[in-house]
Amino acid sequence: MNAAPHRKALVIGASRGLGLVLAGELARRGWQVIATTRRSGGELQANADAWTGRLNVESLEMTSTEQLATLRDRLEDDGCRLDLLFVNAAIDRGDLPIHEVPTDMFTEVMTVNALSPLRALEVLRTLVAPGGTVAVMSSEQGSISRNTEGGYELYKASKAALNQLMRSYATRHAEDGQTKLLIDPGHNRTRLGGPDAPLAPQESIPAVVDVLEAQAGAPGLQFLDRHGKTVPW
C-alpha cells in the first residue's frame, strides 16, 4: 500500500495489548482506523480522543455473529471500503496437558482463538476493497513443525486450528483478489504473553505494520513473522 492518507483499516480486538498498539501505529502512519472493543472507555478511547478523526472506536463482541452483522451493515451504510481488515483475538487458559483440559475450557479457547476470527472474516470480508488485505494475528505456537517443546497444548492447538481454517478460507476465496496473511508477532509482554516475554508490543507492532504494508497486493495466503519471513506450517 502507498502512503496515501485515505487508507482505511478495521482492527477487531483493539482494547489492549497487540491490538491496541496496532490500531495506534496505523493511525500514526496516517491510516483511518476503526477499532473494536467489547467495553467502552479505557486506553483505546483515550487514543481515539488523541487521534481525533483518525481513530474511531466501535463496540463489538467478536463471538456474536449478530453483532458482527450489525457492524458490517452499519459500515456498509456509511460507504466504508477497507484496505485492511485485521482480526486480533486470543485467550489462554493456562498450561494444562490436554487430557486435563475440561471440555468447556477447550470449547471456549477454540471458539475465541480459531472459530470466531474466521467467522469475523466471513462476515466482514465484503467491506474489503479489491486488492485489500485480510489478516489474522496468529503465532509461531501454531506451527506444527516447530512444536518441539512441551507446554501450552491447548493454546498451540487453537492456533494450529486457526491456521488450518485460514488455509481453508484462502482456498474458498482464492479468486477474490485479496491479500491473505497470518501474522506471528513474536512473544510479547502482554496479558497473554506474560511479563517475562522478550518483546514489547511497541517494538514488534511497527515491524508487523511494515509487513502488512509491504505485502499488500500479494496473491495467496502467507504465514509470516514480524520480519516478513515465512513461518513453517
The share of the chain scoring above pLDDT 70, in percent, equals 94
Mean confidence (pLDDT) of the chain? 92
Task: Name which of 4-8, 130-134, 144-148, 208-212 the model is least confident about.
Answer: 4-8
Long-range contacts at 207-211 (CB < 8 A, ≥ 24 apart): 208/22, 208/183, 209/22, 209/25, 209/26, 209/29, 211/181, 211/183
pLDDT at 39: 84
pLDDT at 199: 75
Question: Does the CA dihedral 9-10-14-15 come out positive or negative?
Answer: positive
99-122 per-position pLDDT tens digit: 999 999 999 999 999 999 999 999
Query: Which cell numbers hold the place of 223?
Result: 504465514
Is the entire prediction scored with pTM above 0.85? yes
Confidence of residue 89 (pLDDT cuts 50, 70, 90): confident
Distance CA 57, CA 55 (A): 7
Measured at the CA of 185, the angle between CA 35 and CA 132, to 5 degrees, comes to 50
pLDDT at 3: 46
Distance CA 84, CA 99 (A): 39
Assess whether pLDDT exceeds 50 at residue 2: no
Tell me which H or E stretch contains 86. strand 82-87
**Residues forming beta bridges with residue 136, ordered by sequence position:** 87, 182
Distance CA 132, CA 212 (A): 10
CB count within 10 Å of CB 126 equals 12
pLDDT at 104: 97
Distance CA 166, CA 119 (A): 11
| Residues in contact with 154: Cβ distance below 8 Å, sequence separation at least 6, in sequence order | 93, 96, 98, 101, 105, 106, 109
Nearest to 151 by CA among 102, 199, 92: 92
CB count within 10 Å of CB 212 equals 24
- Cα end-to-end distance, the chain, whole Å: 26
Name the residue ranges covered by the structural domains of the chain: 8-225
Q: What is the CATH number of domain 8-225?
A: 3.40.50.720
| Residues in contact with 55: Cβ distance below 8 Å, sequence separation at least 6, in sequence order | 23, 24, 27, 33, 35, 47, 48
Strand 128-137 and strand 179-184: the pairing is parallel
Mean pLDDT for 193-202 is: 75
The more confidently predicted of residues 197 and 51 is: 51
Residue 59's SS3 state is strand
